[in-house]
Amino acid sequence: MTTSTVSPASAFAEVGPRRTTLDNGLTVLSEHIPGVRSVAFGAFVLAGSIHERRETMGVSHLLEHMVFKGTPTRSAKQLSLEIETLGGSLDAYTTREYTSYQARVLAEHLDIAADVIGDLVFRPLLRDDDLKLERNVILEEIGMMEDTPDDLVFELHNALMWGEHPYGYSILGTRETVGALDTGALRALHARAYHPGRVVVAASGLVDHDALVDALVRTGWGALTPGDATPLATHVPTASAPAYAHHTDKELTQTHVVFGAPMPKHADPRRYALSLVSMVLGGGMSSRLFQRVREELGLAYAVHTFQSFHHDVGMQGVYVASAPETARKAADAIRGELARLVDEGLPADELAAARRQLKGQVTLSMESVTNRMYRAAGQVLYDEPFRPLDEVLARIDAIDEAEVLAVSREFFAPEIHTVLSLGPKAVG
């Protein structure tokens, strides 16, 4: 195995995660955080919805559910019981690019977390009878999403914006694709992706790196057979030309609207300026959109920006929900704020306040062992070097009016947004 350590690079002497690659290709990262008693432990499988074909849409998410149905040595109940009876938690989720399995436990229970997660990730039974039941659970989840307009509108917007690329697919899949998936499809994905060469382990909290590696070896992770570490097939998405679409639903009492436009990928250094602009525009009660659309005009209860940075691309946008008779006014108000941002950027005083706000948010997020686990894993998930907190804060401090104006004009202009509305009335 090979091991490396990031050198201290900040005024806080933040060493950052240690990293080891086992002989079978498993990547292990950990960050010791003094003053806590818990550990966040996660296994990140490098397979997600962007690696799917349209006819197998939802297979990654279905497999995430199915691994919890039992292993040769543990029932479905035992998998969760072993963690929860210790006061810990066990969870999983599927994203565009990876599938995460994670536990939060007291430090002395790290071996148990590693054993349970290793068992369910690498040795699931994947039985036909379990699939019949779990397929119904997924269909209920799809139904819940379809009955929740502020979720459904984002699904519809993704499909409009990304077209035939898997970024436009639903992570849950559709009723048709989920209904057609069988255990053969699940086993094929498991064989292709659920092996040491496609898995990243990250832990953060009261954890010693060498002890973590020893725990993984003791619980069988080091004995796993290496697999094909070649990245799963995909390609960089290209957003469709800006467009507007409306889905009529006369049963709704509000019209839900999403504006969205592509942004650079996670590793792009402009990410910090883009995050700052999005925060100022719609990141809280003091944001421009909240103050304008809700406080001044009274057109909406919910209005906010959103953003996501992926390995190959990013996306930002605005969500608002308004009564059908005022939805067009709310959308026009959003376009007005976008246009003002493009024309004027941010004045010096507002920019200074925004830098303080963003630095505060970043710093506070580092007090979560789970967030620190995600940051450690991100070095592999996004091919990025570790950046100590002081370096991140310095990058935020370096954002100036010229950079804000440049990213605003390139990524926030109202005319580049794809807009989708859902409800009784279109917003045009």
Instruction: State the catalytic residues.
Output: 64
Residue of 272, 55, 306 whose CA lies nearest to 158: 306
Burial of 203 per CB tally in 10 Å (0-12, 13-18, 19+): buried
- Length of the chain (residues): 428
Find tokens 């790290």 and name the residue: 110
Residue 76: both structure tokens together: 């479905």
Q: What's the CA gap between 29 and 223, in Å, rounded? A: 18
- Residue 371 parent element (H or E): helix 369-381
Positive or negative torsion for Cα 97, 101, 103, 107: negative
Find tokens 């290793």 and name the residue: 118
- Kindly list the strands in the beta sheet with 89-94, ordered across the sheet, starting from the edge strand earlier in the chain: 2-5, 18-21, 27-32, 199-205, 38-45, 99-106, 89-94
> DSSP 3-state assignment of 255?
strand
Residue 324: both structure tokens together: 């059908």
What number of H helices and E strands is found in the chain? Answer: 15, 12
Find tokens 């040491």 and name the residue: 196
Find tokens 């005024």 and name the residue: 11
Alpha helices in 147-218 (DSSP H): 149-162, 175-180, 183-193, 209-218
